[in-house]
Structure 1
């Protein structure tokens, strides 16, 4: 028994010794240089960098075509998973949001200063991907018989076509011991995440001269009643908030309609965000919105129709699950506080949890609210190192 325990400890120490902070920073910097803005670009340049890093580390890369110049990338170390030896799946995405304005320097020229790595994607989530690759390679070196995989999808920041294409071509019976999403959680263990549905409402009216508005049918007036219903239903949902995730929410993110001040508007478009509770579907949210629209219509010539643009399911892993305890222990061993939390954002972990039925957590370096999607996005270098070491600890613990 002592020999077995000593062997486990020796494997851990050997693997941790292989995690090199400078290499993680260099790999993350290479990925930042590979600008992969979405929408408006292609992830292929970042995928090529990932393939180069994986080859150097001993991983096997396989592209999954999604759209022209937009492939998912699966990087595997060790054998394929089996029922006898389930795998560990780490999940990331190669796209970043557009850089936007307000940067102190070129957003795709990575900068290292005062313990921070700055550049678009540093936190969300090229830093996390670099840390995950380093960790999986280190574990593979000491335990080459373990099945380990990093899946890097395209289009996470927009319509989630990458993960949907992957799952459409993947057997749900594929066996994973756990899924760890390397999104930025500020080194918290996130065990619950709401999903998201993007919906569009098209309101059609009848144009007329504004001098005789009664001759027309105002699409904007009808849209305003729909917005009122959304606000009322949001308040209803929030009033019933409970548990770690609180409640589902509604938000109208964009309104566009009309032609000018002297024309009764014959059209109006609403773009609506609906956060989903675990187990809730985009189709259900669409049905609720459609019912609300029906109640908002009047016998005035206006019509309206809602459609579902994108769905990202939520998930919740039991706080008592061994995966959660192992993740907390791994972070504490690295000197991190390791709070167990829910996430305010959405991520693709819900797709994996729903499709494969495996326990899922989100754990990564960087702050999703304070650093990601902002000018001068940055990640603390010490957290990149701590995340990689925590992934090593976690992978080896799950495979004890």
Structure 2
């Protein structure tokens, strides 16, 4: 693929690329890593304050929107607000990180630069991507100040997605495109499954284990429900097609019972359901309720299911101009333009559905090999390549 940027615009691209500074990206990413924002277990406010400082230095303006005490979303804007005449480009990220956990070779929140890598919790997911996005937007703003650019940074992405849910209460805006800066190892992700978290509660009847027939065993019934979930998962996988394959089921946790001598009267299942684009959590809940009804049997147990969280998926056609522009931007950086689907979930589906804009995921770092692990790290060369690719992409989207 070749970049759609014409010769007329080449000087803008060259000037913007010249403004991207790798040392500044590393310094800003390091400041964000120092602003520990573990979720659950802390708040994102300290990281939001750092984002405000960076944005102000780069010429952007930040607007907080409080989601919960100590947990504000922040929208950082460069240039005018988007309008029907001049739609904006939206970049998306989140300020929280997963808990550091055990196994680190040094303090997780003391960033370390060594041998071309930046190490620290959030280096990959996704404070490195935030620093690269801000650097790119500031560079574009310097050469094209009339373009509306926005970086939306939400809270609570790693847990219950309350930050993006709060954003959905705002009116839709005219965005030309959304670029999610999550780590894709600099591949262009055009399709992403959504996710639904569900809970199943099984209610039985306690009895002495010496006469189990006097009770109703909630764990036994829960096992049958888990069996139905496994069978339905296999049914969906057999019909897998396209980039995303199929929806999936997975039982992530089972809890119940009081001891070996008591027939358990309660058991709870926590269930993950990956959603195909266009599917909803309500649909998954309906399927699960139908499966529960078939699995219950006549042993005296009852069961109910509830939807705890929903994150929609999205899919952008690989031939869409946004995808072509992203591929061209990577090729201009000497990178392979890989077009992929993602097995993880992200908040891009909310944006695609709410604002009606084409969406891709493109960011530095490896979501499976580096994120959510001890000694999380990102290659510094990928941070600067991402920033330059973002700048090229934004300018290529200019009408």
Fold equivalence (TM over 0.5): yes
Where 2:263 maps in the other structure, the secondary structure is coil
Q: Deviations over 1:221-242 (max 9, x none)?
A: 0000000000000000000000
| Other-structure match for 2:207 | 208
Matching of residues 1-400 of structure 1 within 5 Å: 8-168=9-169, 170-172=170-172, 174-400=173-399
* Deviation, structure 1 residue 153: 0.2
Structure 2: how far apart are the matches of 1:5 and 1:243?
A: 33
Structure 1 SS opposite 2:202: strand
How far, CA to CA, are the matches of 1:354 and 1:247 in structure 2? 20
**Helix, strand or coil: the match of 2:28?**
helix
The number of equivalent residue pairs is 395
CA distance in 1, matches of 2:380, 2:36: 20
Equivalent-residue separation in structure 2 for 1:203 and 1:5 (angstroms): 62
Distance 1:244 1:267, change over 3 A: same
The CA deviation at 1:300 is: 2.1
The SS at the match of 1:76 is strand
Which runs of structure 1 show a deviation greater than 4 angstroms over 4 or more consecutive aligned residues? 4-7
TM-score by length of 2: 0.98
Distance of 1:271 and 1:108 partners within structure 2? 31
Report the Cα distance in structure 2 between the residues aligned to 1:338 and 1:263, rounded to whole angstroms. Answer: 59
CA shift digits 1:140-187 (9 cap, x unpaired): 01100000000000010111110010111x212x10000000000000
1-side partners of 2:342 and 2:250: how far apart?
Answer: 17
TM-score, normalised by the number of residues in structure 1: 0.98
5+ unaligned residues in a row in structure 2: which ranges?
Answer: none
CA deviation map 1:334-371 (0-9, x unaligned): 01112000001000000000111100000000000000
Report Cα offsets for 1:51-107 as digits up to 9, x if no partner: 110011111100011011001000000000011100000000000111111111111
Distance in 1 separating the partners of 2:7 and 2:374: 47
